[in-house]
Structure 1
């Protein structure tokens, strides 16, 4: 038996704001959108146009309160083909929330408080 990654999911309050953030910050593109017949939520799948892995954003129609992310000890990670350019771009966007210079990585934060680690291409 073998398993492979397909997608990760996060729940968001403002779907279009989140889609725009991931588009602007990481160049992700919308690959699919789903509305159930009862219109209680919307799913948007985002891809990097390089791998098959997707980020699924779920927006619950009646949700108004921010999600409790606990200690937020989970994150996504992406590889930057030009780390220095990515760092300067994210610094200008104002979305860098944590830097670990000795490890050569940094994190950006989306509108809902989720972190994405940015690592250099090896």
Structure 2
């Protein structure tokens, strides 16, 4: 009856975020909605494999950092190339937390959102 559609992150610098998500995770823009008055831009990013998208919302009037609470929520991605991804994220300097016992790690985007990387 229901299926996942998208998840939203609000961002301060849309171009910086778009660059991060393409470089770090290979996500590409699949659609965009811009307010006629220029007050907001919504960009939906896809992985090219599923219909699930990540919506990045940019608000023109927003200048202060978003309050992410205690940062206890996250988005998770699986990869068939875990070691390669790990090396790339290490080189990018975006790894926030590693849990070798569980075989996972977390990266952070430019706005402080946590993203879990899980081997397939």
- Name the TM-score, length of structure 1 as normaliser: 0.97
Q: How far did 1:37 drift?
A: 1.6
Deviations 1:79-108 (A, max 9, x none): 011111110110011000000110000000
In the other structure, the counterpart of 2:59 is: 60
Q: How far did 1:36 drift?
A: 1.5
Q: How far did 1:110 drift?
A: 0.2
In the other structure, the counterpart of 2:41 is: 42
Following TM superposition, the consecutive aligned residue runs of length 4 or more in structure 1 with deviations greater than 4 angstroms are none
Question: What CA distance in whole angstroms lies between the structure 2 residues aligned with 1:102 and 1:109?
Answer: 20
Between Structure 1 and Structure 2, how many residues are aligned? 120
Question: What CA distance in whole angstroms lies between the structure 2 residues aligned with 1:47 and 1:34?
Answer: 15
Which blocks of at least 5 consecutive residues in structure 1 are unaligned?
Answer: none
- Name the TM-score, length of structure 2 as normaliser: 0.98
Question: What CA distance in whole angstroms lies between the structure 1 residues aligned with 2:74 and 2:110?
Answer: 14
In the other structure, the counterpart of 1:51 is: 50
